[in-house]
Amino acid sequence: MFENFQVPQNLIPSDPRFGVGPSLIPIEAVEALAKSGTKLLGTSHRQMPVRNLVKELQDDIRAYFKLPEDYEVVLGNGGATFFFDMIGLGLVEKSSLHFVCGEFSDKWYRSHKNIPWINAQEMRVDFGEGINPVELDGHDVICCTLNETSTGVQLSQIPKLRNPDTLMVVDATSGAGQIKVDFKNIDVYYFSPQKVFAADGGLYIAIMSPKAVERALRIEKDNSRFIPVSMKFSHAIENSRCNQTYNTPSIANIFLMNEQVKLMNKMGEDKVIAEAKRKAHLMYSWAEEKSYLSPYIKNPEFRSQAVITIDVDPKYKVDDLTKVLRAQNVVVDIDGYRKLGRNQFRIALFHNVTYENLEKLTKIISLAIERPS
Ligand SMILES: Cc1ncc(COP(=O)(O)O)c(C=O)c1O
């Protein structure tokens, strides 16, 4: 029913990328990378030009999140999925407790479940619902996902833990930068940068409390379990302290992320978050107003201000519409998470996706569905 739909000129967004990751990387950042010429790309990551870049990124992150002085910014290769395994192998003493509400929190749980010498337990809700982490006795790591990218669930609370020996560990991959947290309640806050931070995949950034660093180093020192060398926290931490990574990183990626953090630091976290909320309001209001749309996340408490998921009346096939929009290169990557298998749009509200373009997107979709056939 959408084959003949042509997006009117006045509704064409200034950038077609609305995807939840890899996300829109500003052309200006790509141009700045090209302008860096012979200074960074093709240089050793052990030399000062690249180490200065890594230091700038670490300092920028520290400034953006207003981190407590004694927290460390650790980075390494592998992304959040790799980090799931690093946590299971190197940070969990005996038992981790997982709050599962979508594909990524489930993947993290299953990563720990595969490790024979730790006990991984889950508290699970149906996909489409949210669940905040709570502290239960007997678990030394609490694992939660700040923004479940597969479903569009955002946590509304991360509590302060009572037991001083328990660590709160947060996968912040698609929420980092756009959802306020209190770092005093968190021991590890990690993410891949291909979401709000507009870089490419393959890198993890982990903000670690002294307690988390101490735990990781102690587990390694005990030497009572095998940890693959590429996954040792000691290597990641020691190299990050010297503004390096354990093995060779993508320098282009570090550069792109640094450009984005600089951009966001110009506004500051509070304003970035206010803008995210404004965009979320626009999108949820539209989804509630149209009879053929409905927000997938029914409870407003858990609705994400970083990734919105919208169910569509089965009469209108989302796949058909997205195909037509992609062919015209006016809107790309707004399909739902494939494993959920719903007739659904999933749209990034990330910092670089502007309010004006989101407004145009709502008009394009409304027009496509409402126009006389
Ligand atoms: C919440 C969340 N966690 C983990 C991941 C995995 O990240 P990566 O593909 O960089 O390993 C993703 C990827 O989209 C994610 O959204």
Read off the DSSP letter of residue 94.
S
Q: Cα–Cα distance between 61 and 64 in angstroms, integer?
A: 5
CA of 104 to the centre of ligand 1 (A): 7
Q: Which atom of ligand 1 is nearest to the CA of 202?
A: 10
Q: Which atom of ligand 1 is nearest to the CA of 102?
A: 1
The residue contributing the CA closest to ligand 1 atom 7 is 80
**Amino acid present at 354:** T
- Fold for domain 27-266? Aspartate Aminotransferase; domain 2 (3.40.640)
CATH 3.90.1150.10 for domain 269-370: yes
* Rounded mean pLDDT, 308-313: 98
Domain boundaries, the chain: 27-266, 269-370
pLDDT in tens, 191-218: 999 999 999 999 999 999 999 999 999 9
For residue 236, the number of C-alpha atoms closer than 13 Å in the C-beta half-sphere is 29
The residue contributing the CA closest to ligand 1 atom 5 is 80
Q: Which atom of ligand 1 is nearest to the CA of 83?
A: 11
What is the CB < 6 Å shell around ligand 1?
A: 21, 79-81, 104, 145, 149, 171, 173-174, 192, 201
pTM above 0.85, yes or no: yes
The residue contributing the CA closest to ligand 1 atom 16 is 149
Angle between helices 27-35 and 251-267 (to 10 degrees): 130
> What is the Cα 158 distance to its own chain's centre?
17
**Amino acid present at 177:** G
**Domains 27-266 and 269-370 are alike in CATH topology:** no
* Rounded mean pLDDT, 4-13: 97
CA of 223 to the centre of ligand 1 (A): 30
pLDDT in tens, 129-175: 999 999 999 999 999 999 999 999 999 999 999 999 999 999 999 99
